[in-house]
Structure 1
Amino acid sequence: MRLIGRLALALVLLLVIAAVGLAVWEPLTAQPPAPPAAHTYDTRIVRDNFGVPHIFGTTDPDVAYGVAYAHAEDDFSTLQEVLAMTRGRAGAMLGADGAKVDFALHLVDARGTVTRHYAEQPADVRALLDAYAAGLNHYADKHPGEVRLARLFPVTGEDVAAGFALRSPFFFGLDAVLGALADNKPLPPETAGPNPDAPDPTPLAPTGGQASDEGNRNGSNGFAIAPRRSSDGHTRLISNSHQPWRGQVAWYELVVHSKQGWDFAGANFPGAPYPLLGHNKTLGWTNTVNRPDLVDIYKLVLNADRTQYRYDGKWLPLQATRVWLPVKLWGPFVLPVPKTVYRAVQGPVICNDSGCYALHYAGADNLKMVEEYYRLNKARDFAEWQRALAMQGVPATNFIYADAAGNIGHFYNASFPNRKPGFDYRHVLPGDTSADFMPGTVPWAQVPRNVNPASGFIVNANNTPYQAAGAGSELNPADYSPLLGIETDTTNRATRALELLSANPSISADDLYRIKFDKGVSRNSWVARWFAMVLAVDPKGDKTIADAQKLLANWDWQFDGKNGADALAQFLLRDGNKWHHRRLPPSDPRADLKAATDHLIKYFGRLDPPYGSIMRLHQGPGPHTIDLPLYCGADVLRACSSWDVAANGQLASDHGDSFIMFVDWDRQGHVSSRSIQPYGAATTRPDSPHYADQAPLFAREQLKPVWFDPADLAKHTERSYRP
């Protein structure tokens, strides 16, 4: 018995030691770098009546310091998630999902990219990043109780740069490829490249071609109208990005002014020291996701123990690095999980049951984007702005541009990988030869662009660049190599926008406003063909399905709450997006119709409940909770792309129209702008009056002034202070 007691005591001691180890190993092994050199920043933050920060500084770094501090005041929690991610500590904060991001950080070697290229950045860029880091450190020092992870601070400019190096490739779908390979699943069609030999299920309207649709969680609209097409000779730009309304890629509105000539109004993501879209005094731009094939996959030929791969007749070592991923269990307990990261000549390697695959993708080992965005902010004319974009630091995303001089344009920006004729880069390639591998990026001059089209307008809604300006003003697909992998897909939003713009020879400000907030579905879109499939379903004696078909047949093709079929149509549109965006075969229309009717009957007792009682704008809980009706659709210009289902069956939208900005240059070149967000400036501060103060305007499709001119801001100031 005494021996058993001793063994039990020893076991308890071992468990205690293990528990203590799990609680302390991760912060002890985390070595925060030295903070940026001590510096005094001359920064003033002015909050307008909506809580939007206007940051003033003597120098640009003074402004970047204030950008960080102001954003931390409003959403320090999310900023810390981004910083933990750049350090490979997301798993310690967020658990298993965060550990996946940490693995991606190691796999794409984001920290290695920073180590190799940070010193190459111009001194003014490094000063900007260091100042932003210093602003975050200052906030953390003043609010230690809000710090979520031990030894996360201080952070440095290198940490800020690492966030760009890590996140950039995931905007064009690299994460989908990594996930499929890691899980032994088929490669997603949307990242395997468009297939010109596949049947064309959805012709473009009106110009012809292949088509698909942007899915539930991605999207954006951008419009530019030249003076010759506007009713009053003004130039107009609409930024209408569709992003999640909370989290690490939610837009944060801000305005910046420095005495070094940096004046800009727009929005950024957590972790960015400057606006990523918006306008300055003389020009502006917005972005929409594009979908070129930017990932090439090579299957390696391995030796028996998987330590070498064959390349051009030689056996080369498969580089292997052991990394430890921290995975938060509960409370302070963090489990260390070992993983091995592999690399070959072509790039990072994923191994699964069927072999090892090397990836060559756009923007690999590239840090130029941190300078490029800054130069875009500071550009004063179209030529300067184009020189900045030609740096090819941003690996993918459409740029829709307009300026005070009346120029407009669509730049199908992408860092296309160099490719050799004779190989099918849409599919997995042999990895044992250099014959199909060509490092580097296609020159900027070969990147598609549509500048100052005769039509006088540009629109993009996540569709092909060959559909942007209307009949007679489009790019010719024959002018571009198929090796670029340019998508030929369209969306209902693009088709509908082109129909509305093309039909209006003189577009007024009010016309453009109505087009942006249009809730219609085009009868020439993929949605029309999908709904035709739903209406053709055999009810098989199911009265509810037959009644739903009758209801849908009498729908008015608008999500404006005026027709009883709006709710039913929204469920079906969302279901169609799930397969159409991913270039998959259609789902079972009968099953989708049955699921929609089951939901409506279960929660609302009818197939035709008022649309505003189902689709909701919700922010809460807290003293400033809001719950308002929304009138929008999954692939319409007034977009709500996904939602959480509440306990009462209502749909709380959480993605779609996010930061919206209307920009106007008059005939004299003077700029003005209006904007709106779904919630407010302080989305994670429930006690703040700006937690959801923009929501009523957003729900009513109204905009607020930006007060870009400091003289106007002075009349609408809530408070002014120095951090």
Structure 2
Amino acid sequence: MRNLATGLGALLASTALGTAAIAQDDSPFKADITRTTHNIAHIEADTWEGVGYGVAYAYAQDNICMIAEEFVSVRGERSLYFGPDGKNELGLRGADNVTSDIFFRSQINLPSLRAGAEETSEATQALMVGYVAGYNRYLFDNPVSTLPSECRDAEWVRPITSDDMLRLTEKTMLLASSLALAGGIAEAQPPSGSKESANLETLTFPAPPEPNYGSNGWAFGSDATADGKGLLIGNPHFPWEGPARFWQMHVRGPDGYDVMGVGLAGTPLPTLGFNKDVAWTHTVTRARHFTVYMLSLDPKDPTSYMVDGKSVPMEEITVSVPMPEGEEPVEKTLYTTQFGRIVTVDDTPLQWQSQFAFALKDANSGNQRGIGTWLEMGRASNVGEVETAISETLGIPWVNTIAADRQGNALHADITAVPNVSADFTESCGTPFSGIVADRVTLLDGTRSECDWGKIANEGSIPGLLPASDQASRTRTDYVTNSNDSYWLSHAGEPYRELSPILGAYKTQLSLRSRSNYTETEATLAQAEMDQARAKELVFGNKVLAADLVMEPLLAACEGSNSLAEACDVLSKWDRRVETTSQGALLFLAFWSKVRGRKDLWDVPFDVDNPVTTPSGFNASEAMLEALGEAVSELSGKGIPLAAPWGQVLTRADGEDKIAIHGGTGLAGILNMQESQSVEGGLTPVHGSSYIQIVSFDDDGPVADAILSYSQSTNPASPFYADQTRLYSEKKWHRMPFSDEEIEAARIGDTVTISE
């Protein structure tokens, strides 16, 4: 295999790091970049180095300040450049810059990642080497003094190395696992002598904050489509800001590789998209990608733990975080074990105590198989080959894969890098407290070496990981779908067989968004077979399932209430949707946020035999009317009219303009999810529908309509900062130019060739 260090050595002598540009005919660093409508980048190269080179260059053109800051984050240098008190959107909870720096400096094991990189395929290594070269070439061509105002003349914008790519890839792999508890890892310290032990009888584990990374995905097969071919709807819900934003690209590389779609910051090819024969999307899975071990500590030393009756010292990891000039570095020692990193969670018994500690073991730590997996998916000609790619590599970190092909097959595969923890293993290696926290985390016994799943080897699988054959996958010719609930239901009429609890709860209550998905999908197919037009109506229907479930009894209870007369009148006239023109949506959602968690909400409980229609029977009690009154007072206090059109409340700023946004919280059963935060005068989206694609196939290739809700560039001065956002606001779609003829017709400007 190609040695990554050798490739980097050649790179260090290139123009990207400041020497003269000498393009040789046999240089692997060459790519053509063509832009089409909405600044979509089409990259063509004869080598995998050239692919990475072109993708990085084009990505930097649109997002240089954002990705440069992300490299600062994964290097653990935020405190140095942005101050220790600043914040980083780290994982799902966020953290101050010092905590972020400590986490990355202690979590990233560069020697191990370097060794792992040399075991990846030659194509994967070449892509990474090319990405480094392309990013650095962009900075050579565009000095820091000429960059957008957000990072112009910033000393933290500098060339990258292969180590930076290793760090960034590792962060991406950990997004839905260790990163969610980064603060608990960075802050874990041995107990002081005066610290009292917490009551483990009250042991709990925090629920992830809302919103979580989400998504909807549908694949329709030949029995459900108008043309008998496959059709895919991808509707991932991801952040509107930061490096987890999607970016559109079309890549043509060696051996006929021809894939269009999106990737995140640092991904050198599409990770979600389509080729001429197959299309795929991802949704965040409910599988657990880490376990927590309960350790019994040596009474003589709280930094040693007992395994098989013997005391084992924890390994110390000492990090030094640089501070701004004139300030001393912050140094901290953290601890790790054979069962993973020591972790604590504030305000819970999950603390490092005199007798017990807890360790987090992550299946995605060191996972460098992802890029190779997505590369093979892009080469697939049918969903069977997609399934093979994800099954053989176990490289997909934390998402379901939903795919459709031109032959009319529909695939749902909940196959990811998860711990090799079966139901029997969970029971035999449980602790007296495992059942208490089973709905939140898999808690295992750290006093026995036999309970270390990382040492379990299975023939034909990755050591320590649950084999694909023990995970969920099904191919149908009608439809499969997922809206982030457990693997057990991906088709309304046919539950999956029960698997290991590490993959998610079995036959448990669905989210309102999943219920809305099945309700709307079944209703659409009952009317007519699926095609592009009906798919667009499904994904942007903007119906509020919660309203359909509660409105009639709520309005009946409203009758005769003088204090709620205006509110009830507004709700009675509301269309029960979150269109930009919908009047009353904000009032209902404010009410729903106050009552949705109540135990007395429904008269009819969840019925496993009717998962799509239960629980039901809204209990329109006096307490519910009081909650409606509180919602009225809340909006009145903010000066927002009860009947304010939703598009005047939920907006995206573009300079002085405000763009009306449709969609709303998935917690109310809205498929087109847009989670928001308060701003002056209303709300603005922070997380939700992002890159939406509808892909079918004709005799010539893919037929893809898509929209990137937040647009292609993060530079507010760019004409492509909000152009697609305006299309999204108006529910307009863009036909993706895939063939030579389509690209030429949609071209904006000349093709740019970069080489060195």
The separation in 1 between residues aligned to 2:396 and 2:61, in whole angstroms, is 28
Question: Partners of 2:582 and 2:34 in 1: how far apart?
Answer: 45
**Alignment partner, residue 118 of structure 1:** 117
* 1:518 paired residue among 541, 566, 572: 541
Corresponding residue SS for 1:628: strand
Matched residue, 1:567:
586
Counterpart of 2:724? 694
Mapping for residues 90-239 of structure 1, pairs under 5 Å: 90-96=78-84, 97-145=96-144, 146=147, 150=155, 153-171=158-176, 173-179=177-183, 187-190=204-207, 215-239=210-234
Shift in CA distance, 349/605, structure 1 to aligned 2, threshold 3 Å: closer
Answering whether residue 733 of structure 2 is matched by residue 703 of structure 1, we say: yes
- What SS does the corresponding residue of 2:658 show, helix, strand or coil? strand
| Residue of structure 2 in register with 1:496 after alignment | 516
Report the TM-score, using the length of structure 1 for normalisation.
0.81
For residue 35 of structure 1, report the CA deviation from its aligned partner.
7.4
CA displacement at 1:435 relative to structure 2:
4.4
Q: Equivalents in 1 of 2:246, 2:626: separation in Å?
A: 36
Q: With structure 2 as the length reference, what TM-score do the two structures score?
A: 0.78
C-alpha distance 84-522 of structure 1, shift in aligned 2 (>3 A): same
Please give the root-mean-square deviation of Cα atoms over the aligned residues, in Å: 3.3
Q: Report the counterpart of residue 22 of structure 1 in structure 2.
A: none
Q: Are 1:598 and 2:633 matched, yes or no?
A: yes
- CA distance in 2 between counterparts of 1:605 and 1:284 reads 43
Aligned-residue offset at 1:73: 0.7
Structure 1 residue 169 displacement after superposition: 2.2
Q: 1:54, 1:255 within 8 Å by CA — same for their partners in 2?
A: yes
Match of 2:646 among 607, 611, 634: 611
1:659 lines up with 2:683 in the alignment: no
**1:91–1:98 contact (8 Å) kept in structure 2:** yes
More off after superposition, 129-138 vs 627-636 = 627-636
Match of 2:452 in 1: 437
CA-to-aligned-CA distance 1:205-257 (integer Å, 9 cap, x gap): xxxxxxxxx94343211111112211232321111111111211011111111
2:304 and 2:311 in contact (8 A); partners too:
yes
Match for residue 291 of structure 1 among 274, 286, 289: 286
1:315 maps onto 2:311 in alignment: yes
Identity %: 24
SS at match of 1:466: coil
Structure 1's 337 and 399: CA in aligned 2 closer, same or farther, altered over 3 A? same
The aligned residue for residue 743 of structure 2 is 713
Query: Shift in Å at residue 323 of structure 1?
Result: 0.2
**Structure 2 SS opposite 1:76:** helix
Q: Is the 8 A contact 2:184 2:343 kept in 1?
A: no
Structure 2 counterpart of 1:26: none
Query: In the alignment, is the contact (CA less than 8 A) between 1:81 and 1:248 conserved in 2?
Result: no
What residue ranges of structure 2 are gaps of 5+ in the alignment? 1-7, 15-26, 85-95, 189-197, 345-350, 455-463, 600-622
User: Does the 8 A contact of 2:580 with 2:648 survive in 1?
Assistant: no
CA 1:423–1:569: 2 relative to 1, 3 Å: farther
Which amino acid in 2 is paired with 1:464? S
Residue in 2 that maps onto 1:379:
380
How many Å separate the matches in 2 of 1:58 and 1:35? 18
Does 2:341 match 1:348? yes
Tell me the equivalent position of 2:239: 244
Q: Give the direction of change, closer, same or farther, for the CA distance of 1:263–1:481 in structure 2 (3 Å limit).
A: same
Instruction: Write the distance in 1 (CA, Å) between the matches of 2:334 and 2:562.
Output: 56
- CA distance change for structure 1 residues 696 and 375 in 2, over 3 Å: closer, same or farther? same
Letter in 1 for 2:54: G
The aligned residue for residue 3 of structure 1 is: none
Distance in 2, matches of 1:484 and 1:40, equals: 42
Distance 2:465 2:490 in 1: 25
Distance 1:561 1:153 in 2: 42
- The 5 Å alignment of 1:367-516 reads 367-390=368-391, 391-419=393-421, 420=425, 421-424=427-430, 426=438, 428-439=443-454, 440-452=464-476, 456-471=478-493, 473-477=494-498, 480-482=499-501, 484-486=503-505, 488=508, 490-503=510-523, 504-505=525-526, 506-516=529-539
Distance change >3 Å, CA 562–CA 154, structure 1 → 2: closer
**Hey, what's the Cα distance between the residues in 2 that align with 1:591 and 1:370?**
53
1:591, distance to aligned residue in structure 2 (A): 8.5
Amino acid at match of 1:86: V
Deviation, structure 1 residue 665: 0.9
Q: In the comparison of the two structures, how many residue pairs are matched?
A: 643
Q: Which amino acid aligns with 2:745?
A: K
8 Å contact kept, 1:462–1:490: no
Q: Is the contact made by 1:463 and 1:489 (CA closer than 8 Å) also made in structure 2?
A: no
| Counterparts of 2:279 and 2:118, CA distance in 1 | 30
Q: Deviations over 1:15-52 (max 9, x none)?
A: xxxxxxxxxxxxxxxxxx96735455221111112111
Amino acid at match of 2:446: G
Q: Can you list the C-alpha shifts for 1:296-343, whole angstroms capped at 9, x where unaligned?
A: 212322234423221111111111121012355xxx666521121211
Which residues of 2 match residues 5-20 of structure 1 at below 5 A?
A: none
Distance 1:612 1:166, change over 3 A: closer
User: 5+ unaligned residues in a row in structure 1: which ranges?
Assistant: 1-32, 192-213, 581-587
User: What is the rounded CA distance, in whole Å, between the counterparts of 2:107 and 2:75 in structure 1?
Assistant: 13
Q: 1:405 to 1:240 in 2, by over 3 A?
A: same
